[in-house]
Structure 1
Amino acid sequence: MNYVLISMILALLIPIYEAWQDNNIWQKVLAFASIATKTSIMMLVVSVLRDDWSIGVVAVIILSVGNAGLMLLANLIKRLNEV
């Protein structure tokens, strides 16, 4: 079971490296959205392994709402840079 979590953490490092490397705001937003999705999937796996539904509920909320707020923030930053 630990191998699954370690491989998920290694997969999480790929978008972190992409966000660090690129200067385009949309590439950073996509990388951070990928990080949020992978982190919430990891939270769901941990909640199933621990049989703790409160962690799972938080992960589902992050999956459903988290990326929408991130995209709204990216649009605001883009419009501020255009003005």
Structure 2
Amino acid sequence: MDLNVLMMIMILALLIPIYEGWRNDDIWKKMLAFGSIATKTSIMILVVSIGRDDWMIGIVGVIILSVGNAGLMLLAHLLKRMNEI
């Protein structure tokens, strides 16, 4: 499969959680949508790095994939604790 076609499919898949986060007012659904966006963009970065044979970009994608959602989960835990008080 051509890299351009694959990237277009991935961008279309990225639009689904963007629309879902924009449509809902529930904070938990928005945070899930943002987590999905972060994961999808890091996978897109990995695909681009493999296509360009540039492993420095791939390292950035791996760091985003492994650490990027940790901050989001910490924020979710903080919001949960604030609602309990």
Q: TM-score surpassing 0.5?
A: yes
Count matched residues: 83
Aligned-residue offset at 1:82: 5.1
Any unmatched runs of 5+ in structure 2?
Answer: none
Separation in 1, partners of 2:56, 2:80: 36
TM-score (normalised: structure 1): 0.91
Match of 1:69 in 2: 71
Match of 1:42 in 2: 44
Match of 1:31 in 2: 33
**Superposed CA RMSD:** 1.2
Any unmatched runs of 5+ in structure 1?
Answer: none
Deviation per CA, 1:13-58: give whole Å up to 9, x if none: 0000000011111111110000000000000000000011111001
Give the ranges of 4+ consecutive aligned residues of structure 1 lying more than 2 Å apart after TM superposition: 74-83
Match of 1:19 in 2: 21
TM-score (normalised: structure 2): 0.89
